[in-house]
Structure 1
Amino acid sequence: MPAPPPAADRAVVLLRRLGADAIAHPGGTLLQHLVRVRALLALWEARPALQLAGLCHAAYGTEAFSPAVLGLARRAELALVIGPEAEALVHLYALCDRAATYPGLTHPSGRYVERFTGRTRSLTLDRRRDLAELTAANELDIARVDPQFRARQGPRLMALLVRLRPLLSSAAWQTADAVLTGRHDADPAGPASPAA
């Protein structure tokens, strides 16, 4: 696996300073989860900006995870560390109204709905792919390290990823198939380890 981009080291320092290593999350702490998500995206050969977005995807909180280590008013601070493209992806992920956006994400219109305002806009194909890949990496990391989550949410997650499959890389789909069907030997990320 290639070495993380230098900005990843700076982002980890920032996330640690903001307390992400003290927030509980399946498989350990929020920081451990974020590092694993970036590593999974790297394994899938995502470009550096998407890897950095994976590392910081919960910095502003998300619809499913409310603790925010960095408020939206501090977007410029995160952009200085990970770059404007990666920060824009973190922002996109944080504001996503999943129930309203995911069902139509594969449609050419790319309808995206913001969760706080209800504002809608169209996303380019590249942005829809980024959002799908980031979603897959986030959810699959949790499924890999938390058997209870996998048992409880696995069917819902598989249905979502089947819907998003046209937007996912083949490596992301291979991991989804392996983790959610129990064929861990086919998972390119290898066996899950809660301590990772």
Structure 2
Amino acid sequence: MRADAEAERLLLAKGADRVEHPGGTLLAHLRRVHAVLGDWGARPELRLAGLCHAFYGTDGFATALGARTRREELSRVIGAEAERLVYLYASCDRSRSYPHLASPDGPFTDRFTGTALRPPAADRRDFAELTVANELDVMAASPELRAAHGDSLAELFTAWRPLLSPSAIRAVRAFRR
């Protein structure tokens, strides 16, 4: 069975189809992010991370489907690299990490441990790409959230331009209009 199908089975077993999220359910959102990353030409590991990015909850969405103390559960399904990206995404302390993401030596703070990390450029690019796909989906699903956060996200994503794929840059430009 393909990893994305196995991941969807795990997400269903964890109740992602019963968790409310802008635009319907968490599972619907996760599927849309996965699809957008695929449309943008993301590699399989990043697409799988997109499908499972909220597995441990996030700084902006507290509901966790799985325990970060049992990371092997998700890793067995989507692979170590994709799971590592899911953890990176979940662990991000947004207020302390977002402003410095485009800086090669900027700190990335793990909200679970408080540790300031220095992720390599490839991880910063993956994180930025996943974040843009996620937030653009949320903004499209919720006019209220877009009104409250759209301008600041557009400004942030413009600052992250060096990290983004051409497809993500086009999506950010379209979002700004």
TM-score (structure 2 length as normaliser) = 0.96
2:130 corresponds to: 134
Q: Aligned letter for 1:156?
A: S
Is 2:158–2:172's contact at 8 Å kept on the other side of the alignment?
Answer: no
2:48 corresponds to: 52
Q: Distance in 1 between matches of 2:117 and 2:59?
A: 18
2:103 corresponds to: 107
Cα deviations by residue, 1:26-58 (Å, 9 ceiling, x for unpaired): 000000000000000000000000000000000
Cα deviations by residue, 1:40-78 (Å, 9 ceiling, x for unpaired): 000000000000000000000000000001011221010
2:30 corresponds to: 34
2:92 corresponds to: 96
Q: 2:163 aligns with which of 157, 163, 167?
A: 167
Q: Distance in 2 between matches of 1:142 and 1:103?
A: 20
Unaligned runs of 5+ in 2: none
2:70 corresponds to: 74
Q: 1:17 aligns with which of 9, 13, 23?
A: 13
Q: Aligned letter for 2:82?
A: A
2:60 corresponds to: 64
Runs of 4+ in structure 1 displaced over 6 angstroms? none
Q: CA deviation at 1:93?
A: 0.5
Q: Aligned letter for 2:71?
A: R
Q: Distance in 2 between matches of 1:111 and 1:9?
A: 35
Unaligned runs of 5+ in 1: 182-196
- SS of 1:116 mapped into structure 2: coil
Cα RMSD after superposing both structures: 1.2
Q: Distance in 2 between matches of 1:171 and 1:28?
A: 25
Aligned residues: 177
Q: Aligned letter for 1:28?
A: G
